[in-house]
Structure 1
């Protein structure tokens, strides 16, 4: 007898398949790779750590080559990977390539958070995972030596210069973390200095700019993915977590950082939302400094998926410049 084919409960193609036994088969995303004691291309070191046992949250932490930086405290970057809330990983090849390049260029200690994924985990809990990770990282600012401390953070991290950033869904999570950081304090009184959002995953029911309207709108990927993964979202696609100008969305003036960089790609279906975000932040009364970078002729996540190209290298340099300022 051959093995019995598992029954499919639902599908979110081309990303994943959910089976009736509750298991999920991911059809998309790059392969995972191990960390490296010294990346041959950049000299960056990386290792995998556990942030929290319950819930289980892990991370990949990165350290630039220290020969030119002995005894120097480095800015701390907390990074959140993309993948539409439901695929990709902090341990994947493309995210590791991105982090090695960025850490080498910007000379920061970086922690790329491996949050749990939907649909196995409800979407609001992904945000909680990332907030938990940020609090744990901020707790390294105090001199107390707890059990679960990461030596690279305590030794090299400058907690006066903490940045957060992410791409796609990770940029959406970054925005939501900033909103929370505007209301809640972090351990040790740590403040987020700056944040970057690359090709942020925002959407809404009403079309803006060049977005299509009408019945076809509900077939577009940003809508389909959100609706599939979070069907019970209050307000649906206008939930404040995904629509920052939705009817229930709080004022962007509360964003909890003092510098913000929004990066969009000309051909990306999410482009106009990123531009709207930049403008909405500027007009909100927020007291910080916000800048917009647009890359022409490129599509969504080009700097991650096509990391060898000149434009990819340029945007990495631009992000590094933001972290070095």
Structure 2
């Protein structure tokens, strides 16, 4: 229930999810909602006022630690990709986070009520593979207009005077109607590293990105705003980011999809990952220093309009 017995709106509800895993449901008055599992600090659902799901979750997603949940918004830290002794995409996405009951002051421009603060600290096991002390604070906010905001703050709390280095991504899976009818705008003409070609560097051609085969690209020095246009649904996702200069665009297509155990054979048709990231140039933090990376997602009704990144204009043109 989203209302108390007195009829008051419940903006933040602590409950249980799949297999009894703790989760938090965020709600806004107009009917928007989001769900966050403490396992992985993982956003698994984001719905608009029509109760339509805006994030993709694999039809075979496994809610069974230590396996990461496939879909939603996994958090990749302290690395994106595979490197050294660390597991693929780091360990933040398959650790048990806790609610941060005493977060430091958080500058905010609006009085949002639907938010939760989570925190992850190093364990002895993690220290064996990544020997650093840190505090990773995450705020997940559902705005009154349905925007979904994730703000990460990572602080180096080493007492031995050592800096540490990391890469990072919000591995966002957007739900799309038909991948062949989707365009991404905002990264055209930019340089990218192609993970399907040994990270060779290319320059993007054309006026937008469309999809007809497997794609795994890391775009460099990207703008703060990227649009994902679902032409068939007449919906545009707008991704805004801060502190995250790169953007990953990924779809496994048919052959790779069949090779992923917790991914349905046809799931690739209904998802697209566009990820706010910092990968090419790792972040280096000295003891006491803090890094902040923010992502804001919005979904607006829109007809296809090339180059149209302003959601207010997109709304007017629909």
TM-score by length of 1: 0.30
Task: Answer 1 or 2: which has greater strand percent.
Answer: 2
Greater share of residues in helix: 1
